[in-house]
Amino acid sequence: MFLLIGPMAARTVLSSHHMPQIAFTSTRDGNAEIYVTDSDGHNQVRLTHHPAIDIQPSWSPNGRKIAFVSNRNGGNFQIYLMDSNGRNLMRLTDGVWNQNPAWSPNGRQIAFESSKGESNLDIYVIDTDGRHRTRLTGAPRSDAMPAWSPDAHRIAYSSWLGGDAEIYVMDADGENQTRLTHNLVNERELSWSPDGSEIAFSSWDGEGTVISVIDADGKNLKNLTEGIRKGFSVRDSSPAWSPDGRWIAYDSMTLGLNESKIYQMTANGVQVKRLSNVHKGGDFDPDWFAAAGLVVSPTGNQLAIWGKLKNLASNLR
């Protein structure tokens, strides 16, 4: 459906079809670059073109920006922002080590892990203009891989205490740090479900790396993938929930082959489909975006809510 509104000179075309997209990293062209694809695997487009390493894309809540990590500054990994078409690059951080960016639900801050050269990592937040960098954790351990809760009140993260990574949550200001898991495996790469009820993560199960989910209060741990297929150990990692909560994207690699691909599975792990093309190199670090309404163009790339458009269309009849 296409709806034309307003005078011809300012005509805006609104399409009811908007395919959710997934940003990801690929080494298909010889080094790690950021790509986007429709959620059905079609229309894969390369966004970055640089000889350095570009990894870990993260969509802003409104879909206009993508944060990612690169060592294009000369060796140290930093967080950068770019428009969702790859333009208007901005460096957000400096220092020795800054990785795993995660947008706050209101789009005003980014949480990330950082190190000033010591062995430990800590969780920080920073405004999206590069101001007000604030440290949230500082215990004698590494804290990394933050993930915001959908209501913006909490941040989940992995913490290395006693030799393995466990899942913790804290208030968005760093208070009330609480441990959720007590397992002798590394639990990392967290992703909060859109309704805030569950956290997906990757963990080593003794045979391979599996995707698991746990309730946000630490109960009901479930493994969704097996970590081993047809006698081969498999690394399933980097889970990312779809905006509607029905699917989880992740990357998967048979250990020893070193060519991971992007997959989707239903949130219960029953149905699985592969999104990546067959090519040399790996695809990994998936992250979803789907607009809450329709993309309006060309007037400012505004978002129009479908319910309002239906009402407006009814009034025009």
pLDDT digits (tens, 9 = 90+) for 97-126: 999 999 999 999 999 999 976 668 999 999
pLDDT band for 271, please (50, 70, 90 cuts).
very high
Domain chopping of the chain, boundaries: 1-18+291-317, 22-36+45-288
What is the domain class of 22-36+45-288 according to CATH?
mainly beta
How is the beta sheet containing 178-179 ordered, strand by strand? 142-148, 154-160, 165-171, 178-179
For the whole prediction, is pTM greater than 0.75? yes
Of 304, 285, 286, which Cα lies nearest the Cα of 294? 304
Give me 36's structure tokens.
């986007």
Q: Give the tens place of pLDDT for each residue, 172-208.
A: 999 999 999 998 889 999 999 999 999 999 998 777 8
User: Picking from 153-157, 237-241, 308-312, which range would have the lowest pLDDT averaged per residue?
Assistant: 308-312
Q: Give the tens place of pLDDT for each residue, 129-177.
A: 999 999 999 878 899 999 999 999 999 999 997 678 999 999 999 999 9
User: Picking from 33-37, 88-92, 129-133, 306-310, which range would have the lowest pLDDT averaged per residue?
Assistant: 306-310
